């Protein structure tokens, strides 16, 4: 049986952002490709964070896949190779007959990379209703994380119908950043119920930095003492969902 699988991006930024986001959580990644597109889902080793990526066929310049396939890569190896692409270079991936990952960068750079055994486990998603939703520009969110990091290892988010409060507390002091409805950094706020959640910057910072400005905006959804879900809106990618379990004082 010959496998038909080929996916070609128009530039390299999106793929770089995706791989970089994945690299903050896992060392090995298993991707699933089918006629609809490519997906990835995985948790970090301590099961605190989960990343769920769905990359529909429409996001690619060219996409062909006539069978369900899974392929596993070592993220650091894949990442190094993708980084060899210039911003405007297209990247085409496929699987060779000898079961290697084929990566064509631009017109003439052809890599073959070893695949690793793909993991079989089907990770579910957290089932929770979200009481609060906050939309931010990605640069505003990145700044808030930086501001809080100065005094704390954790970010506390409190959302009311009229404003979002980001705060942190540590040995050296505390910080409070208020974003009122109507401010330009706050693109959306909808709150069913006033909610407060605390989340580790150790996990938040790397992923936000990894996706960077490839995402124009982010949406944070959460409920009190429940996981946070961040959606990164990347123009050419369906979505990157990052789930982070809360810290709970008890």
Question: By the criterion CB under 8 A, which residues form the site for another protein?
Answer: 43-50, 124-128, 200, 226-227, 243-250
Distance of closest approach, residue 68 Cβ to another protein, in angstroms? 24
For residues 150, 155, 156 and 160, what is the CA-based torsion angle, rounded to 10 degrees? Answer: 100
Between 126 and 216, CB nearer to another protein: 126
Distance of CA 192 to the CA centre of its chain: 25
Instruction: Write the secondary structure of 1-25 as one string of H (helix), E (strand) and C (coil).
Output: CCCCEEEECCCCHHHHHHHHHHHCC
Q: Nearer Cβ to another protein, position 205 or 214?
A: 205
- Rounded Cα distance between 26 and 104, Å, is 24
Structure letter (DSSP) for residue 203: H
- Closer residue to another protein, CB minimum distance, 227 or 238: 227
Nearer to another protein, 158 or 226 (CB): 226
Token reading at 75 = 């993220």
Rounded to a whole number of angstroms, the minimum distance from the CB of residue 198 to another protein is 9
Nearer to another protein, 183 or 248 (CB): 248
User: What's the CA angle centered on 165, arms 241 and 228, to 5 degrees?
Assistant: 20
Q: What is the dihedral of CA 189, 194, 198, 202, to 10 degrees?
A: -10
Backbone phi and psi for residue 208, each to the nearest 5 degrees, phi listed first: -65, -40
Minimum distance, C-beta of residue 117 to another protein, in the bound complex (Å): 13
* Helix, strand, or coil (residue 115): coil
Minimum CB distance to another protein, residue 51 (Å): 10
CB 241 to another protein: min, Å: 12
Q: How far is the CB of 128 from another protein (least distance, A)?
A: 6
Question: What would the two tokens of residue 73 be?
Answer: 């890569």
């Amino acid at each position: 049986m010959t496998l038909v699988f080929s996916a070609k991006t128009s530039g390299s930024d999106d793929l770089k952002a995706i791989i970089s986001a994945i690299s903050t959580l896992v060392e090995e990644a298993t991707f699933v490709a089918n006629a609809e597109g490519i997906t990835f889902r995985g948790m970090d080793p301590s099961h605190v964070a989960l990343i769920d990526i769905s990359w529909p066929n429409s996001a690619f310049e060219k996409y062909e896949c006539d069978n369900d396939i899974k392929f596993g890569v070592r993220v650091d190896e894949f990442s190094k190779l993708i980084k060899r692409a210039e911003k405007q270079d297209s990247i085409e991936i496929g699987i060779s007959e000898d079961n290697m990952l084929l990566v064509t960068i631009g017109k003439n750079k052809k890599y073959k990379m070893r695949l690793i055994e793909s993991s079989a486990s089907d990770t579910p998603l957290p089932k929770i209703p979200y009481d609060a939703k906050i939309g931010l520009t990605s640069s505003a969110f990145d700044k808030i994380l930086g501001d809080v990091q100065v005094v704390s290892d954790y970010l506390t988010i409190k959302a009311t119908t009229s404003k979002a409060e980001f705060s942190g507390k540590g040995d050296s002091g505390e910080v409070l950043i208020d974003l009122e409805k109507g401010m330009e950094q706050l693109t959306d706020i909808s709150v069913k119920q006033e909610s407060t959640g605390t989340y580790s910057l150790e996990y938040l910072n790397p992923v936000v930095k990894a996706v960077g400005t490839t995402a124009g905006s982010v949406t944070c959804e959460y409920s009190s003492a429940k996981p946070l879900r961040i959606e990164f809106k990347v123009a050419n990618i369906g979505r990157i969902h990052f789930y982070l379990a809360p810290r709970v004082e008890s």
